[in-house]
Every structure is written in C-alpha cells, then in structure tokens.
Homo-oligomer: A and B are copies of this chain.
C-alpha cells in the first residue's frame, strides 16, 4: 500500500531515461536587489500545479501524453552566485548530453546564465529568445557583474552579436538601451514583429528564456519588481506557444515568480499554465524520432 510521496509538476512523472524534456528547479535569489523571494518559485509551481488540468483546451493535447521528467530542485548555496551557477550549468550540461531539453524553473533571472553556459558549449550557433520587462543588459549592478540585472549582458559575452532577441522590454536605464543598439535586438513593450524573429531563428538552436515579469502585474503581481504596462496572459501564451512550436528550442527557462508577494496565488497559477503550454507546444509535433532529431541539432 505504501509508496513514497513524490511531488512533481503536473503529470511530469516519466522516468529520466524516457523523457524528452527534463524539468528542474534552481531556487536561488541572492542577487535580487529589490524584493527577494524567487527562491520559492519553482517549488510553488510544482506544488500548485495540482490545481491545474493536465489538458490544454488551447492546443487540444494533454501533458500526460508526453514523457517529461521532473528532477526537483537543486540544492544551491545562498550568497555568492558562482557555485550556484556552476551547479546549474552542470545539471543542464548533463541533460543536453543525454539529448534531452533542459527546462529550468527559477529562481531569479541570473540562473539562466548557468543553463546558457551549458548550451553554448553544446551548440556552436546558439541563439537566445528573451521575453522580459527588463533588458538585463547592464555591465554591472551595485558593483556586481553576476547579477540578475546583467544576465543577458553575460550571455552576450558568450554568444556575440545578433544572437539575442528581446521582446516586451519596458524598463532599463538609458545606457542599456543605447548599448544594445547593433548588438542585441531589443523590441520594446510587446510582441509585435515576433513572427519575423521566428523566421530569422528558424532551424537554429534556440534557448528560450521567459522572465514572467514581462506579464502585466495585474495578472502576475507575484514578482520582485512589478512593472505596470506589460503584456496580457493571452499575448504571452500565444508568444511562447508560437516559439515552442516553430523553433528548435534546445533549452528553456521560466523565472522570477516570487509567490509570497501574491497571497491570492494567481501568479503561481499563471506560471503553471505558461509552463504547461510551453511543454505541450515543445512536444506535440515531435514523433518517436524526437531524441534523434535533437541529436542532429
């Protein structure tokens, strides 16, 4: 009668060996400068996913039709981010090595750097598609170069020019926007023109990083630095679905949920639904030869 109590994200209970996608959490928020709490994001997403149906009426697929492994949360030290980033990189690298897609749940946005470092070593022509309220392109922030506010700048240093495409950006300092010119494609406020970027990225290995604060705070209040004037749930849902369906996504993350700031729980519910839609879109058009296809990327 008795088996162990195992908590995974909604329906993601495949064995590691069979899984095409591997979810894991990085509960780290030590460089958060304004209001901390994203360390609770990944476990809240997992815990509250039981309030969500596994079936998507948008895509007419059920997440239980696919093989996804949820590896739980990494045990990361707090304070200095270097050892935490190394652990994340190691985890993502091992997943990529096994021809699976790492799907990271933050944590603050800096955790992306660990996964991108792993992906950049695995894919020579790596591109990043980035949905966010903030440009995150500073060279340093409050004296630190490993900061959530610098994460895309650090990624730029790894990947070089014309590899990063940002959408939804509505906050940053004047220098970030100027610096980006000619280096990073930065589209402000919304997703208009995303279809062109999807064409540009077609067939290339793409890492998709979603800072959930790209959403309007009305539907996603549970985040450290709410920025009024964001995109709607429907806009983000369409954007992530389109990206996951049409691109060769080789890794992804969803971050910056800080559940304690939202006692109603709608932010966590929103995060859960975005993750569900991304997972289904990533997997629905891929047949039995999925892992093989991955391998060729």
Name A's B-contacting residues (CB within 8 A): 1-8, 16, 22, 29-37, 39, 43, 46-47, 50-55, 57, 62, 69-73, 75-83, 91, 94, 141-144, 146-147, 169-174, 177, 188-189, 216-219, 221-222, 225-229, 233-234, 237, 260-266, 269-270, 273
Contact = CB atoms under 8 A, between A and B. Distances in A.
B72 A4 contact: yes
A269 B217 contact: yes
B81 A265 contact: no
Given A77-B142, A81-B79, A225-B51, A172 B34 contact: no
A293 B100 CA distance: 51
A174 B264 contact: no
Given A57-B170, A264-B222, A269 B227 contact: yes
Given A34-B50, A83-B143, 19 more contacts: A4-B4, A5-B7, A5-B8, A5-B73, A6-B72, A32-B78, A35-B265, A36-B39, A43-B47, A47-B47, A52-B171, A62-B174, A79-B81, A216-B218, A217-B270, A218-B219, A218-B266, A226-B269, A228-B233
Contacts of A144: 77-80, 83
Closest 10 A-B residue pairs measured CB to CB? A5-B72, A221-B264, A218-B218, A217-B266, A31-B79, A36-B36, A30-B30, A80-B80, A77-B142, A218-B219
Contact of A172 (B30, B50, B57, B147): B57
Contact of A35 (B51, B69, B142, B229): B51
